Amino acid sequence: MSTKSRYEIDMINGPLAGKILRFALPFMAANIIQLLFNAADVVVLGKFAGDTAQAAVTSTTALINLLINLFVGLGVGVNVVVARALGSGDRSRISTVVHTAIAVGIIGGAFLVVVGEVFAPILLRLMGSPEHIIGLSSMYLRVYFIGLPGALVYNFASALLRAQGDTRRPMYYLSFAGVVNVVLNLIFVIFFHWDVAGVAAATAISKYVSAILVVWCLMQETGVLHFAPAKMRVDWSALKDIARIGLPAGFQASLFSLSNVTIQSAINGMGEVVMAGSGAAVNIGGFIYTTANAFYQSTMTFTSQNMGAGKPERVDKVVKWNMLFAVAVPGLVGLTAYSAGPWLLGLYTNDPEVVRQGLIRMSLVSNFYSICGVMEVAIGALRGMGYSFVTMITTLLGSCGLRIVWVGTVFAAVGSAQSLYVCYPITWGVTGLVLLVCFFILRPRAYAKAIAPKEEKL
């Protein structure tokens, strides 16, 4: 059996439920491993360096996401463009996108290193970070950002593999990099006493490890995804196609992060204990969210391949199965996490008050990830059909704008952490409902466009 046949999933023929799980579960595991990078930082700092160092790291999460999500969104464009080309059998286009994607990852990562080094303290002050932790937070960001070229290359390279259904090998590579990260965390913090700088350095190194492994994998490929370093260059036509899908996706993710920066700024004003408790709950919430995001990815990839193959009738089944899984799995995981909340939060801190603050957030966010799952599948279906701009506008109005308004009105009037956290399930629900309406409105036109090239060939 060839390497390709072992890892590739036939998305355009046969039953879907088992294939969706075969795609989503390794992707879910890979995302969980990636989240362990940051979780390991927080846990090690909380246990061995104290709450101040922990708060310095957790307060940077929203800012990191804001700065990198535009480029991460381009990975969505890579996935959709390659998946469509695989569905239609356009081998030449796939090779062009492969070499463009890796080049853009290196260039974009280098740009972000410069941004992080120059602007980290300024941006942290704009977020209202307490003065006594800005120095530590700035140090963390500057070291962390050195690893971003590796992070973006891994993101684009793994998006290429996902386009053909290969979510297992990226999971293997992240597993190895995750072990490296945890070991280096312990060495740098416990033995070298580097604290914040140590966990940032461990994370940066692990990102390069995962990038090297996934690029090596593409170099060993004998099929359409083969990467030859000598051919690496930016093809402007390929970049235009990637950007058409990826830039709206990146802007959408950045807008989400912008609203989260607004929320984090409000949290920063409630004191160090609330910051630490919220930060720990955010890390746990990230693990729950990845179960919803896995079905977003599978919806988008399966939809893209079937649209490219001129089989839009299968998209309805793709959406149905992913919607079922995206409601059930995140809902179950979220409820389980909240039930185990005291123990999970205890992994991040020894302070009972920090645990209590974390439980407040989990009660209002972790228990409602089924709503987030509906929103994610709707986004994946629209992007797979080519309507990435629609999702960006809807997210801008339904989630990001509403969250910012909420902070300025409801939270400003009430002032409690509960009144802040409840905006998450509310905005998920509003955005998901609007996106589903958009899907049903745009569906007939998208399906007709997908069938037209197929009919022309007959």
Nearest to 374 by CA among 292, 287, 288: 292
**Contact indicator for 314, 454 with CB cutoff of 8 Å:** no
Confidence of residue 323 (pLDDT cuts 50, 70, 90): very high
**pLDDT higher than threshold 80 for residue 110:** yes
**pLDDT higher than threshold 50 for residue 154:** yes
At which residue do the structure tokens 């909340």 appear?
341
Amino acid at 17: A
Sign (positive or negative) of CA dihedral 268, 110, 151, 89: positive
Q: Strand locations in 156-238, DSSP E?
A: none
Residue 136 located in a structural domain: yes
pLDDT, mean over the chain: 88
Nearest to 439 by CA among 240, 248, 299, 297: 299
At which residue do the structure tokens 């890579």 appear?
78
Give exposure, 402-419, as e/b (b: 16+ Cβ within 10 Å).
Answer: bbbebbeeebeeeeebeb
CA distance 211 to 367: 34
**Contact indicator for 451, 310 with CB cutoff of 8 Å:** yes
CA distance 42 to 340: 18
Confidence of residue 2 (pLDDT cuts 50, 70, 90): very low
**Which residues, 6 or more positions from 443, have their beta carbon under 8 angstroms from its beta carbon?**
385
CA distance 316 to 254: 29
Helices and strands of the chain, counted as H and E runs: 20, 0
Residue 2 located in a structural domain: no
Give exposure, 269-303, as e/b (b: 16+ Cβ within 10 Å).
Answer: ebebbbbbbbbbbbbbbbbbbbbbbbbbbbbbbbb
Neighbours of 458 (CB within 10 A): 4
State how many domains the chain has. 1
CA distance 50 to 234: 45
Confidence of residue 5 (pLDDT cuts 50, 70, 90): low
Q: What pLDDT was estimated at residue 156?
A: 95
| Cα→Cα distances 119→145, 188, 309, Å | 11, 26, 45
Confidence of residue 96 (pLDDT cuts 50, 70, 90): very high
What 3-state class would DSSP assign to 146? coil
**DSSP characters for 298-314?**
HHHHHHHHHHHTT-GGG
CA distance 108 to 88: 29
Mean predicted confidence (pLDDT) in 183-206: 90
Mean predicted confidence (pLDDT) in 218-240: 94
**Which residues, 6 or more positions from 71, have their beta carbon under 8 angstroms from its beta carbon?**
105, 108, 109, 112, 152, 155, 250
Of 201-210, 219-228, 392-401, 419-428, where does mean pLDDT reach its minimum?
Answer: 392-401
Residue 77 located in a structural domain: yes
Q: What pLDDT was estimated at residue 398?
A: 84
Q: pLDDT for 257-279, tens place per residue?
A: 777 778 888 888 888 888 889 98
Q: What pLDDT was estimated at residue 385?
A: 93
Residue 1 located in a structural domain: no
Nearest to 33 by CA among 235, 255, 181: 181
Confidence of residue 444 (pLDDT cuts 50, 70, 90): very high
Neighbours of 176 (CB within 10 A): 14
**pLDDT higher than threshold 50 for residue 1:** no
Residue 391 located in a structural domain: yes
Domain of residue 169 covers 15-457
Confidence of residue 122 (pLDDT cuts 50, 70, 90): confident
Under DSSP, the state recorded for 226 is -
**DSSP characters for 238-306?**
HHHHHHHHHHHHHHHHHHHHHHHHHHHHHHHTT-HHHHHHHHHHHHHHHHHHHHHHHHHHHHHHHHHHH
